[in-house]
Amino acid sequence: MKLELADAKKWIDLFIEELKENKSNLNELDTAIGDGDHGTNMDRGASAVVESFAKKDPENLTDLYKATAFAMIQKVGGASGPLYGTAFLDMSKAVKEENLELGELVQVGTDGIKRRGQSDVGMKTMIDVWQPVSDALKAESLNQSVIDEALSKVKGLVATKGRASYLEEKSKGHIDPGAQSSAYLFESLIKVIGE
């Protein structure tokens, strides 16, 4: 399935709402294994996306994903800004010629995160949510349990990337905050496309 502009905009709008509502939850998760500011950073990025859309309503998918990317890159601190930014920027380039199937589009974003973060599945990062979601979308089987299962797996992993990797074994048993904010992104998508 493909996402047209109105639904894609709705997806990003719902994600923004989720980030604002869950700012303290994300900070709490980040306090356990990071700097404690992932929620604050993502909230700042969310506000920047809202401002960007208010200035100029995206006219196509490329504009929508690009505006989201730049807002994240400019306003979200830490590694998350560049990682989310790269994902959305790569997605914006990918839809320039033609609208991709959703699974392929999310895979483009996932590959961007892997490239930018020099990481992969199993390292306790946001990729551990993006990749299973991408796979599920390709199989047309994305539902809440895919996201729940991904987060559950993340919790059991030992971080080998990012600030949490300094904690080594102690990072086990905690949900990576980037994985959680990614879960909000894809839960928002499910609200738009249904299970």
In the chain, where are the structural domains located? 5-193
CATH 1.25.40.340, applies to 5-193:
yes
Give the Cα-Cα-Cα angle 36, 179, 190 (nearest 5 degrees): 130
Give the Cα-Cα-Cα angle 85, 78, 107 (nearest 5 degrees): 35
For residue 192, give the H/E element and its range.
helix 177-193
Give whole-number Cα distances, 78 to 30, 39, 82, 155, 167, in Å. Answer: 12, 11, 8, 21, 18
Residue 119, classed as helix, strand or coil, is coil
Q: How far apart are CA 62 and CA 5, in angstroms?
A: 9
- Per-residue confidence (pLDDT) for residue 102, from 0 to 100: 97
Tokens representing 36 are: 């404690």
pLDDT in tens, the chain (195 residues): 999 999 999 999 999 999 999 999 999 999 999 999 999 999 999 999 999 999 999 999 999 999 999 999 999 988 999 999 999 999 999 999 999 999 999 999 999 999 999 999 999 999 999 999 999 999 999 999 999 999 999 999 999 988 899 998 999 999 999 999 999 999 999 999 997
Tokens representing 184 are: 């909000």
Give whole-number Cα distances, 77 to 38, 59, 158, in Å. Answer: 8, 28, 23
Q: Tell me if 182 sits within 8 A of 130, measured CB to CB.
A: yes
The values of phi and psi at residue 128, to 5°, are -70, -10
